[in-house]
Structure 1
Amino acid sequence: MELWTEYEGRTIDNVFPLTKLLRPQGRSAFFLTSNGTGVPRIIRLVEPHFDEEEILARWRAVASLNHPNLLKLEKFGQVWLDGAPLLYAVMEPVDANLADVLVNQRLTLPDARQLATSLNSALEVLHSNGFVHEHVDPANVYAVGEVVKLRSDCIRECPEDREGQDLKLRDLHDFGVVLLQSLTQERTLEAATRDLPLAAPFNGIVRNAMSGKWGFSEIRTALDSPATPRVAVPEARGVGSAAAPARSVSVPVSASAEPGSLEPARTAEPGHSDLPGVSDLHRPSDLPNRSDRTARSDQPRRSDQPGRADLVDEELEEQPRFGLGAKPLLVIGLAVILVLWLGWHFLSSRPATPAGTQPAGTPQVQAAATPAATAAVPATSPAVRIATATTPPADSHEQWRVIAYTYRRQDQARHKAAVVAEAHPDLRAEVFTPTGRAPYLVSLGGAMSRDEAYALAERARHEGLPHDTYAQNYNTGRSR
């Protein structure tokens, strides 16, 4: 989204330079930054919709939990840029990402056991403290040192009604899917038929978590059973590589679960692969990785997967990954993967592409707003027709809207609304502004009731629009 590129080169809170836009996502964006000492990390910016305190309260709450399996928010707050408020959250540096591992290989049984133990613990503490995650996915699971961590900036409060119970069950279902993917590289039991039944205790955990029959205590009991012997799993061949021998990836449960460490533990087995760099927040060539820092004397430098096109030559010399065994083959493989990714990225970012091409697992921040005069720009075709809405009646409580995208400039919002309207005419995209000025929101379906808005938001996500598409009441300030 053009809006966020304008922030590159700026500095947040006089400490965090926005060196590179990694990924825009609706009213959020992720940038590569540092803490002033050259240590790379990710910073998330959020453009608030009158919900600054709500978002900051969530971040304060998750920080106060200080759970070893939740990705730490090192600093967060509010700043003003160009006269507009922005919220920011700086995440601790990560070493690796589960989604990247699963592209090339499955986890071994010991790895899967630590993964399940860590995610079960993180989700249990969130649910017991009144939160839900809603983004449990391999792309949101990281390695920091020797500890598995779940991304924490995207949590939200859990409703107390039936909807809240359904959201908790969805987190458990998604936990089971992540575990299934880790063991089979498939997202459904039907697709994983040839690998079933899974080894104990995972067969029972996966099935009962996905069906909602088991809760955290039952899963924990199953995981506390005797450890499963290590099994080597052959890796898939990388692009441009020769057949690699069978190997395993070890992620044993860490004895010291301090918040600042989580990476798969190293083993003495040749060809061992750690979880490679971040994929959910940015593309392979943008990976900020703890191994980019100066190596510590008490810990060997980490190696990274192919796709880290920004690595320096000295790092490449240290990284014989996927059984290549020779630097020329590794460099060729990196180049081929980068070329393929660039082609895919170019095609997927063309304006004619449907608006919902953004990957799943993206951050979802719910907004709250105050009553205000509104203006709407319906987009029933690429030639957007402009219309104006009046202030809602004082006694009306049903002014819900579904928001898919956020822009600072009206022309950008109108263009996106026209693209969405052409690809999804049934969603009736329009440009909406609650204040008569920026931000300009791409809204779906116009004003409606709460139930209609929730249903439309769910339908829009199913049709491919961003995962963080949300519903908000612009008359009472309630949001989802």
Structure 2
Amino acid sequence: MHLWSDYEGKTIAGAYPLGQLIRPEGRTAFFSTSNGTGIPAVIRLTESLNDEGEMLERWRQVTAVNQDNLVAIKSFGQTNFEGTPLAYALLELTDASLADILAERALTPQEAHEVASSLLAALQALHASGLVHEHIEPANVMAVGEVIKLRSDCVRECILNPDDATPAHCAELKQRDVHDLAVLLLQVLTLQKKLTPAIKLPAPFDKIVSYGIDGTWGLTEIDAALHPPVIKPLVPESVIAAATQQHPQRISPSPQSESPNPALHVRRISNTVQPAPRSMAFWAACSAGALVLIFLAWLFLHGSSKPATPVPTAAVVTPAKPQTIDDAPTPKLSASASTDGVVHTAVATSQTQAGWHVVAFTYNREDQAWHKVATIRDAHPALSPEVFAPSGRGPFLVALGGAMSESEANVMRNKARRDGMPRDTFIRRYGPR
């Protein structure tokens, strides 16, 4: 039998060189490794007790779930090391665990909301696939960049024993996950594992923790509490009645004035104007006209030889064609505005100053690095985060405190870790010595 430390420096399955032993867990151990191309990863090794087939099947099911808030299993299989049968799983490299942060401080309600939403999504995906976790604790909640993930190599089927293959038993196992999630949320907010009457939690965690622990709520109720629907205000009936009331339209033969703010791509709607029904006034006007014609005829036949003054003919006015909305000129966009209505401004990367720097994050894209800087400034302005690129291009580093001496950098790194920065935050000298 080998000690786990004996595996360091060996190669597993002919492809995965084992680096440092990260942590042992009984017959299981985790090592740093790569996939042969230099990409860092973590590999899990488990000594077989004739159960490697079951482990491989569970990992296959987790891989099929493929949910963003589950630590990805990149590959898995079985091998033999000097006569010892092993099952292995190549896991996504994580940055830190929730336990590391809770060792220094509790989370804010906003941070707890992010943790709750991420773990909720992971559990919903597992339960929908007939899997349960049963190991929801801070050490198994990881961070990969800015994504919160739940450890996935330890899940199992909802039904292990065919004799227990009942819906009630499976529902009980899933409710245990809900209970453990509620306890974890209590822990991240208060650093306590037991809910007492003296503990006052902010909404919605007051109900999530209480009802999750006593079994009243499941994942559906927790989801509704974390993401309540947006309720639109009711429109008064008087407003609806006024909006639906029909108003007569005025039809003018003169050209319509151009709208000062012409709209684009407005569909034209043409309505046929129906003639109004002929009323008694119409027939009275016809009778009066007939009498006038008779009177004019009598004057023509019996009047004097003086020629009658001709009645001027009314001029026919042809109405001009109204200008439609589509004929109006399209306003040009200002040179300072984009088509999406957002004014974009360039962001300059800080110049590298000679000295020691405390580096907390590394990004391939500059905009992602600046987004992280803004997040840190909001939560911890005293850390003075900035972005700089030592080579003048990517990668872009998120550094804390600017250039300083080595001793000052060590102090800043320790402070950053206490404030929740990753445990792998490091110091390095940049620029000429």
What TM-score, normalized to structure 1? 0.49
SS at match of 1:270: helix
Equivalent residue number for residue 298 of structure 2 = none
SS at match of 2:99: helix
Give 1:104 shift.
1.6
Give 1:166 shift.
3.2
* Residue of structure 1 aligned with 2:218, choices 215, 218, 224: 215
Equivalent residue number for residue 182 of structure 1 = 188
Counterparts in 2 of 1:47-446, with a 5 A limit?
A: 47-159=47-159, 160-161=165-166, 163-190=169-196, 193-194=198-199, 196=200, 198-225=201-228, 267-270=374-377, 272=379, 300-301=396-397, 318-319=399-400, 327-328=406-407, 331=410
Counterparts in 2 of 1:447-458, with a 5 A limit?
A: none
Unaligned runs of 5+ in 1: 228-260, 274-293, 303-317, 337-480
Give 1:79 shift.
1.3
With 160-169 and 75-84 compared, the bigger mean Cα shift is at 160-169
Give 1:330 shift.
5.3
Q: Indicate whether 1:23 and 2:23 are aligned.
A: yes
Give CA-to-partner distance per residue, 1:450-471, whole Å, 9 cap, x none: xxxxxxxxxxxxxxxxxxxxxx
User: CA, structure 1 residues 299+112, in 2 after alignment: closer, same or farther (shift >3 Å)?
Assistant: farther
SS at match of 2:71: coil
Give CA-to-partner distance per residue, 1:6-25, whole Å, 9 cap, x none: 21111112221111112222
Equivalent residue number for residue 287 of structure 2 = none
- Output the CA distance in 2 between the equivalents of 1:330 and 1:102: 23
- Output the CA distance in 2 between the equivalents of 1:147 and 1:62: 18
User: CA, structure 1 residues 4+296, in 2 after alignment: closer, same or farther (shift >3 Å)?
Assistant: farther
- Output the CA distance in 2 between the equivalents of 1:300 and 1:204: 42
Contact 1:295 1:301 survives alignment (8 Å): no
Contact 2:132 2:177 survives alignment (8 Å): yes
User: CA, structure 1 residues 218+297, in 2 after alignment: closer, same or farther (shift >3 Å)?
Assistant: farther
Query: 1:82 is aligned with what amino acid?
Result: E
- Output the CA distance in 2 between the equivalents of 1:127 and 1:82: 38
Give 1:175 shift.
0.3
- Output the CA distance in 1 between the equivalents of 2:193 and 2:391: 37
User: CA, structure 1 residues 76+200, in 2 after alignment: closer, same or farther (shift >3 Å)?
Assistant: same
Contact 1:266 1:272 survives alignment (8 Å): no
Contact 1:73 1:92 survives alignment (8 Å): yes
User: CA, structure 1 residues 295+222, in 2 after alignment: closer, same or farther (shift >3 Å)?
Assistant: farther
- Output the CA distance in 1 between the equivalents of 2:91 and 2:190: 30
SS at match of 2:100: helix
Contact 1:320 1:327 survives alignment (8 Å): no
- Output the CA distance in 1 between the equivalents of 2:156 and 2:33: 25
Contact 2:118 2:149 survives alignment (8 Å): yes
Query: 2:39 is aligned with what amino acid?
Result: V
SS at match of 1:267: helix
- Output the CA distance in 2 between the equivalents of 1:175 and 1:335: 30
Give 1:269 shift.
4.2
Give 1:151 shift.
0.3
Query: Higher relative contact order at CA 8 Å, sep ≥6: structure 1 or structure 2?
Result: 1
Contact 1:136 1:175 survives alignment (8 Å): yes
- Output the CA distance in 2 between the equivalents of 1:329 and 1:138: 31
Equivalent residue number for residue 357 of structure 2 = none
Equivalent residue number for residue 4 of structure 1 = 4
Query: 1:328 is aligned with what amino acid?
Result: S
SS at match of 2:7: coil
Q: Indicate whether 1:36 and 2:9 are aligned.
A: no
Query: 2:410 is aligned with what amino acid?
Result: V
Give CA-to-partner distance per residue, 1:391-414, whole Å, 9 cap, x none: xxxxxxxxxxxxxxxxxxxxxxxx
SS at match of 1:142: strand
Contact 1:29 1:45 survives alignment (8 Å): yes
User: CA, structure 1 residues 8+73, in 2 after alignment: closer, same or farther (shift >3 Å)?
Assistant: same
User: CA, structure 1 residues 296+2, in 2 after alignment: closer, same or farther (shift >3 Å)?
Assistant: farther
SS at match of 2:42: strand
User: CA, structure 1 residues 299+101, in 2 after alignment: closer, same or farther (shift >3 Å)?
Assistant: farther
Contact 1:320 1:326 survives alignment (8 Å): no
- Output the CA distance in 2 between the equivalents of 1:151 and 1:268: 25
SS at match of 2:374: coil
User: CA, structure 1 residues 71+335, in 2 after alignment: closer, same or farther (shift >3 Å)?
Assistant: closer
SS at match of 1:32: strand
What TM-score, normalized to structure 2? 0.54
Query: 2:47 is aligned with what amino acid?
Result: E
Query: 2:182 is aligned with what amino acid?
Result: G
Give 1:29 shift.
0.9
User: CA, structure 1 residues 298+25, in 2 after alignment: closer, same or farther (shift >3 Å)?
Assistant: same
- Output the CA distance in 2 between the equivalents of 1:199 and 1:98: 20
- Between the two proteins, the alignment pairs up a number of residues equal to 263
Contact 2:71 2:91 survives alignment (8 Å): yes
Query: 2:219 is aligned with what amino acid?
Result: F
